[in-house]
Amino acid sequence: MTALSLAQRLADHVQHLLGDGPFSQPGGWIHMGAVICDASFHARCKYEAALRPRLLRLQADWPDAATVRGFQGRLATEDLALAMDFNDSRKVATAHAITGLLAANGVDTRDDLHAWLDHQANRAALRTVKGVGPKSIDYIGNLVGRSQVAVDVHLRAFAADAGVPELRYEQLRTVYEEAAVLLGHDEGALEHAIWRHQSGAA
């Protein structure tokens, strides 16, 4: 089947289960410490119950970490695992590595990161961080107000239920993007609506 016919199959499944919308975009974060921690800690984590409350607390406890430089300063003197109440050394290491990379590239604010992600070379640089894959890049984009489809296990399950065969990450993302066009929805808003439906957050 062509990507367009798969997109139509997916679009039909969206309308059947979710209706015609409209769907709201995920809000993301202004606080860069929250952006980095969300991107680093969210995998295989119950987001609404476990991660989001920790990110809100981090924002309140570390207001000076609203910029990458401010967050980097906190990381130099404080224990992120303790601050997040999340003892996972690999995820903590990913947060430190993302912070260092962004700081080294002069990325300090949400707007900086939004613009920085326009360039493929910068996205490739993020991929060099252990724990950051193609889905993470798209997810980070959504956290700073870009509109992208970050294909996770929930979106893969939804596509399988729609009769879309197993595809590589980039192929399935394209099918979702084309389904959004067919339905007249914003890509990020459609992704978020499907994620909420599949995760039980809706």
Give pLDDT tens digits for 169-184: 999 999 999 999 999 9
Beta-carbon count within 10 A of 79 CB: 11
Q: Is the pLDDT of residue 46 over 90?
A: no
Beta-carbon count within 10 A of 13 CB: 18
In this prediction, residue 93 has a pLDDT band, given cuts at 50, 70 and 90, of very high
Residue type, 28: G
Which pLDDT score is estimated for 17? Answer: 95
Query: Three-state DSSP class for 166?
Result: coil
Q: Which two tokens stand for residue 84?
A: 């997040």
Q: What b-and-e string marks burial along 34-72, b requiring 16 or more CB atoms within 10 Å of the CB?
A: bbbbbbbbbbeeeeeeebbebbeebbeebeebbbbbbbb
Mean residue pLDDT of the chain comes to: 94
Whole-model pTM: value is 0.91
Which of 40-54, 61-75, 109-123 shows the lowest mean pLDDT across its residues? Answer: 40-54
Helix/strand/coil (H, E, C) string of 75-99? Answer: HHHCCHHHHHCCCCHHHHHHHHHHH
Beta-carbon count within 10 A of 162 CB: 20
Is residue 22 reached through a cis peptide bond, with omega within 30 degrees of 0 on the bond before it? yes
Q: Is the pLDDT of residue 90 over 90?
A: yes
Which pLDDT score is estimated for 181? Answer: 96
Residue type, 91: K
Which pLDDT score is estimated for 63? Answer: 98
Instruction: Estimate to the nearest angstrom the gap between the alpha carbon of 161 and the chain centroid.
Output: 22
Q: Is the pLDDT of residue 47 over 90?
A: no
Which pLDDT score is estimated for 117? Answer: 97
In this prediction, residue 59 has a pLDDT band, given cuts at 50, 70 and 90, of very high
In this prediction, residue 185 has a pLDDT band, given cuts at 50, 70 and 90, of very high
Q: Is the pLDDT of residue 95 over 80?
A: yes
Which pLDDT score is estimated for 172? Answer: 97
User: Using CA atoms, how far apart are residues 96 and 104, in angstroms rounded to an integer?
Assistant: 12
User: Using CA atoms, how far apart are residues 191 and 28, in angstroms rounded to an integer?
Assistant: 14
User: Using CA atoms, how far apart are residues 95 and 90, in angstroms rounded to an integer?
Assistant: 9
Which pLDDT score is estimated for 3? Answer: 67
In this prediction, residue 25 has a pLDDT band, given cuts at 50, 70 and 90, of confident
